[in-house]
Structure 1
Amino acid sequence: MSESRTPSQVLRDARQKDSRTKRARVLSVVDQLVADEEPVTFTGVARAANVSHWLVYADGVREHIEAARQRQSRTARAEARGQAKAPAGWKVEQEIVREQNRRLRAEVDHLKGVVRRSLGQQLNQLGTADLGARVDEITDEKKKLQDELAQALTRIEELTGKLTEAEDDLASTRTSLRRMVRSENQ
């Protein structure tokens, strides 16, 4: 049997869970910023993760952010060295390609949204059409069953009438038979 927890234990467990969730969200935001090649700053991470500034400076989180910043600065220095050796035309072309990539990403995001909305509308229309057809089908089935029920009730009434008639004939035949037996016996 499990031991009941006190309110303070429940509160402590909830706070620990909330802290783990927020820390995980911060680490996820840092990784996302690094992947998107966005600058990693303490304030930017706090805003993006929707947590307090205190948390991004807390032990365990601060080290992760600082490591990401160091990786970015090393990458930036390496790129600067690589660009220093590259001809000036390449730098311009690189910027053009980056701008095209940003534009294409935005267009892809827009098109994904359009496709989602279109599919949603199609599903809604499909569902509505199917429901209408199903309602018509059920209505037809109901009418058919009601007709069959009416026919069955009519048949029951006919058979009940015949049964009553047959029972009356049987009763009268028995009565006649009894009279005949009595008259024979006398």
Structure 2
Amino acid sequence: MSQPRTPAQVLRDARQKDSRDKRGRVLSTVDRLLADNEPITFTGVARAANVSHWLVYAAGMREHIDAARRRQTRATTNDTRAATIAPAGWKVEQQLLQQDNRRLREEVDRLKTAIRRNLGQQLDQLGAADLSTRVNELTALNQRLQSDLERAQALITDLTGQLNEAHDDLAAARTSIRQLIRVENTASATP
């Protein structure tokens, strides 16, 4: 026969069950937000799971939420949803950079094709005596085109760096806003 439980044991068991239920709601809410590709924030998880802010920052919960946020950040870097969140100016700048890159690649391909075609035609037309002179001219032209290509690639690298800096600035601004919201939430929660 089991002994009757004391009121303290009943209360402790009820609190443990309530704690397990709340933690389970937090974990399922985080998984649902991740699956729905919704932004995962501590405040958002606490509201969606209907639990206290303290619980989402508690050991075990915080690590799970941070891991989900990191997965979501990695997943959205190339996602079109992340592009819709970015300011319009940055989207335009990114599109312009992509168009410039595409245009430069097409121009390089076109120039290579033209050089090959012209070289073949001219070699057919020239005699053996003119070949060495023509090869020197084509070598100089090739070097000039190579330097043009290197300048274009340097420009692409520079513009990509500027775009990365803009993305870093955006991430820093978002982090600052989150911290301000967190401070504001903490201030409004304290009487």
TM-score of the aligned structures, taking structure 1 as reference length: 0.43
TM-score of the aligned structures, taking structure 2 as reference length: 0.42
Structure with greater Cα Rg: 1
Higher relative contact order (CA 8 A, sep 6+): 2
